Amino acid sequence: KAGVTQTPRYLIKTRGQQVTLSCSPISGHRSVSWYQQTPGQGLQFLFEYFSETQRNKGNFPGRFSGRQFSNSRSEMNVSTLELGDSALYLCASSLAALSTDTQYFGPGTRLTVL
């Protein structure tokens, strides 16, 4: 069974641009969560989607948004990029949204903002 895939793996953008990252969960998984990883702040929760509905949202500005499609694939968008948005963006999928469900992480998309 294929794991969580994220595209693209690497991305370079300039300040003010916007970016869209994609995540394909493991087949059959319906919950997708997004995290931002930076050396200074560590791993921080962005948002979680289950059955196309945002279930939880972390403490990030409105420039960060996401959505989930009917096939459970998810995208996140960052508008008006800032230098501080440079990070590894990780997607995790799980079967449902139960507290005992295991979350499987993808390899991440490394975003560099110049």
Partner 1 sequence: GQQLNQSPQSMFIQEGEDVSMNCTSSSIFNTWLWYKQDPGEGPVLLIALYKAGELTSNGRLTAQFGITRKDSFLNISASIPSDVGIYFCAGRGNNAGNMLTFGGGTRLMVKP
Q: How many CA atoms within 13 Å lie on the side-chain side of 29?
A: 29
Residue 56 touches partner 1, criterion: CB under 8 A: yes
Residue 53 touches partner 1, criterion: CB under 8 A: no
Return the residues of window 14-43 that contact partner 1 according to CB under 8 A. 31, 33, 35, 42-43
Residue 101 touches partner 1, criterion: CB under 8 A: yes
Residue numbers of the site for partner 1 (CB under 8 A)? Answer: 4, 31, 33, 35, 42-45, 48, 50, 55-56, 58-59, 90, 92, 94, 97, 99-108
